[in-house]
Structure 1
Amino acid sequence: MIIKVALAGALLTSGIGLVAPLAVAASGGDTCISTPTEAALPGCRAPVGAVDGSLPGAEEAVARALRLVGGHGYYQLCARLAANIWGRPRAGYYSAAEQWRQMVVSGNAHRDRKPPVGALVFWDTGGVFGHVAVYVGDGRIVSNDIGDEFPGEGGVYLVDFGLIESKWHAAYLGWAPPIYST
């Protein structure tokens, strides 16, 4: 597999020296890597498939998400849960809100309510961290904390897409493909 790397330089996002996450997109047999603020290299395909709008790897991610339902240990760790669903140990972003901002800056944010299966869906919760979950189809998401009976439980739940808004009074921001640092 050929790996094409295009780095426009490190983007420092804080005084502790966090580097901007890298976007990864599959292209046939190639993997293309670029920073979230630059376009993919010629010949690279965006993470959302051009033919049917599906996300490569979504089937595996949804299966992983459904296996996590009923588990615990994700209290206020929505970004980590979403990353784990996509087979990543961590999100690589400070928060869901920061991940959403990066998706907006990089042109990967979609503000409609029609996410493809496997997409990351984001909400503004009124706090600094925001919320992210994974859309699994049929109007449902896999999310943490939303069904907890007590704070700190960190449960993982399969719930209706709109429950984040109705129960937490969060404002839906949109969806993005699963772009994580490598």
Structure 2
Amino acid sequence: MIIKLVLAGALLTSGIGLVAPLAVAASSSDTCASTPTASLPAGCREPVGSDSGSLPGADEAVARALRLVGSHGYYQLCARLAANIWGRPHSGYYSAAEQWRQMVVSGNAHRDRKPPVGALVFWDTGGVFGHVAVYVGDGRVVSNDIGDDFPGEGGVYLVDFSLVESKWHAAYLGWAPPIYST
């Protein structure tokens, strides 16, 4: 079931969600990734899983995600939506597919179907851009475009995790913590 809530969010009034994506790929030196033996680069915050089944900061991110449900202006801007949910103006990656590749290379990708609350979940849509949404718990994600009545609407929806696969025939890739370039 798709739940639509009406909210005139600050992102819409400021126009942040209405701007076309810039093709700016983050290089490996721009990402906030670390290995178990290396510390994070200066200025980076890397969330890690906790025993409670959610990521640090997930409560705020989920609250922000739910406030965005019902808004518009995110047509084909899933990476920007996920970044906005985590309080970032943009993802710093060219696409969701590129972000997933960086998570794999940096060792932050998890291929199981048990993401913690707040995790970024990724799908291969068969195109070059892929798809990312934010897991909010109870088998649901906040995603864009999935419930649009017409192309270009760019709506934000709270939907069952499986809808991305069943409606778009997308292949689930896995989940990662919200790691963004600085």
C-alpha contact 1:23 1:34 (8 A) present in aligned 2: no
Question: Is the Cα–Cα contact under 8 Å of residues 78 and 144 in structure 1 kept in the other structure?
Answer: yes
**TM-score, normalization by structure 1:** 0.76
Question: 1:53 deviation in Å?
Answer: 4.5
> Which has the larger share of helix?
2
Identical aligned pairs, as a percentage?
A: 90
Partner of 1:61: 61
Higher mean alpha-carbon deviation, 19-28 vs 130-139, is at: 19-28
Task: Give CA deviations for 1:79-136 in whole Å, capped at 9, x if unaligned.
Answer: 0000000000000000000000000000000000000000000000000000000000
Point out where structure 1 has 5 or more consecutive residues left out of the alignment. none
CA separation in 2, counterparts of 1:19 and 1:36? 37
Q: What do the CA deviations read for 1:128-177 (whole angstroms, capped 9, x no partner)?
A: 00000000000000000000010000000000000000000000000000
Aligned length: 181
Q: For the pair shown, which has the larger CA radius of gyration, 1 or 2?
A: 1
Gaps of 5+ in 2: none
C-alpha change, 1:57 and 1:51, in structure 2 (3 Å) is same
Q: What root-mean-square deviation, in Å, do the aligned CA atoms of Structure 1 and Structure 2 show? A: 11.7
Residue in structure 1 matched with residue 100 of structure 2 by the alignment: 100
Cα distance change, pair 73–30 in 1 and its aligned pair in 2 (3 A):
closer
Compared with structure 1, are the counterparts of its residues 41 and 143 closer, same or farther at alpha carbon in structure 2 (3 Å cutoff)? closer
Cα offset for 1:63?
Answer: 0.0
Q: Please identify which structure carries the higher strand content.
A: 1
* Offset, 1:45: 9.4
Shift in Å at residue 47 of structure 1? 2.1
Q: CA deviation at 1:48?
A: 1.6
